[in-house]
Amino acid sequence: AAGAGAARPRGPPRQDPMSSTSTTCSSWRDPSGHASKRGIRGFHPIQESGGGLAEAQRERRLGHYDAALELYRSALQREPRHRDALLGYADCQQDLGNIDEALTAMKQLLSVKSDDLEANLRVAELLLEQNKESEVEPYLRYGRLGRRSASAALQQRLLCAEAQLALNKEEYSKALSTASEAVRVDPSTGRALLLLATARHRVADYSAALRAVAAALEPAGDEGISSRRFQAACHALAAQAHERLREYPEAIARAERALQLQPKLLAARLAKALAKQQSGHILEAEEELMSILQSNPQHGQARLQLAYCKMVSSNLPRAAAILEGLLASKAPLPRSQLGCAKAYLALALAQQRRERAVNLAKEAVL
């Protein structure tokens, strides 16, 4: 059905009030008005100032992201190239869903030290979060070059990035193998377990996916208990797996749990809509999908699922119109969803336009 992997959702970027004239890291200046000439190493006044980075880190751990951002901004105004301040600033922006701002901070760091392994890996991870697979390779290359001398934690993150890239490219066998290797490095790491669960879901091993999700949410995995966003992603994936297993009440319950943690998480909303539709609540499913499309009118999977709902309710002309519009829009769809859209359209047109339907059916299986 239309439950293939959804693009990872993000809210609209929040305006960064670091200054009244610019929101980018490149605008940071020292108090004299000149760009700082101090590099990453050497004297750092941030480390000696009251509060400083330790206070910013504490605020972030408490979930006070705006307060932490202000402290990191203050630090970067004094020392624009401070490595830990740039990393912490990027972390906060990512926590808030401001991926572009986080990328700007990491590229600021790379402008000082282009072979910084951590910064290159962070950029790769952020680009993958935006589904920008074509831009990832140069940054992962640095990670591969430095892998032998890297810590086990960095090696695992590199494997996770490789697994996520394979998932985004729909190379599921490679993703499963790489995610399994990442878990072997440290079986208690939540992100690696979630990637393994995702890969297992994509190869239709839904029960195994649920076991991996359960392991990711165990208290031993730091990410599983400290990050609401991480927990929401786990519950959303569990909802998708339960839906595939036709366990619709469980799917709806896990989707609702994800939405309690992250109310705008599109993956959870889509899973909930699909479970509603599959359990016979077509109107409720359509309402959820229409709500998604009001704020994300070009969302490919939501449009695909809405067309499927229309087909189930025998409104074939409306389903065909939605699918025709989706295919004509050239919206970036995963290969599996593109084939699904063509197959659905072939079914919707079968009664009225037999020749076009046959051609679409042939395209769908290519």
Q: What is the pLDDT of residues 193-218, one digit of tens each?
A: 999 999 999 999 999 999 999 999 98
pLDDT of residue 253: 97
- Tell me the average pLDDT across 220-225: 43
Greatest extent of the chain over all pairs of C-alpha atoms, in Å? 75
pLDDT at 222 over 60: no
pLDDT at 1 over 50: no
Q: Is the pTM of this model over 0.95?
A: no
pLDDT of residue 4: 41
CA distance 43 to 200: 48
pLDDT of residue 208: 97
Neighbouring residues of 94: CB distance < 8 A, sequence distance ≥ 6? 102, 126, 129
> What is the 8-class DSSP label of residue 151?
-
pLDDT at 11 over 70: no
pLDDT of residue 3: 42
Burial of 234: CB neighbours in 10 Å, binned 0-12, 13-18, 19+:
buried
Tell me the pLDDT tens digit for each residue of 89-138: 999 888 888 899 999 999 999 998 888 889 999 999 999 988 888 899 99
Q: Token pair of 279, please? A: 């359990």
pLDDT of residue 51: 53
